[in-house]
Amino acid sequence: MKKLEKLILSVPFLPPILYFGSVGLLGYDIYCNIVNEKEFLNVYVETPLIIMFFLMTYFGVKKYQNEKWKNSLLIMVIF
C-alpha cells in the first residue's frame, strides 16, 4: 500500500486526475441512471472506480491529518 501511495503521489497531477475523474464518471453514471434510465458504466468498470475514489479520499485525508498534526505541533512549540 505504501508503494502504491508513493507512486501515485510522485506524479504531479495524477492524484487530482484520479480523484476528480472517478467522481465525474461516477456522477455521470448516477445521472444517466436517473435521467436516461440506462447504465453508463457496467459493474466491472464501476467497481474499480469506486475503489479508486475511496483510495484517493483516504490518501487526501491522511495527508491533511499529517499537515494538521505538524501545524499543531508547530503552534505548541511556539507557545
Q: Please report, for the chain, the start and end positions of each structural domain, with discontinuous segments joined by +.
A: 2-78
pLDDT in tens, the chain (79 residues): 788 888 888 888 999 999 999 999 999 999 999 998 888 889 899 999 999 999 999 988 888 887 766 666 545 455 4
Radius of gyration of the chain (CA): 17
Number of H helices, E strands in the chain: 3, 0
Task: Give the Cα separation of 35 and 12 in Å (integer).
Answer: 36
Grid cell for residue 5? 501511495
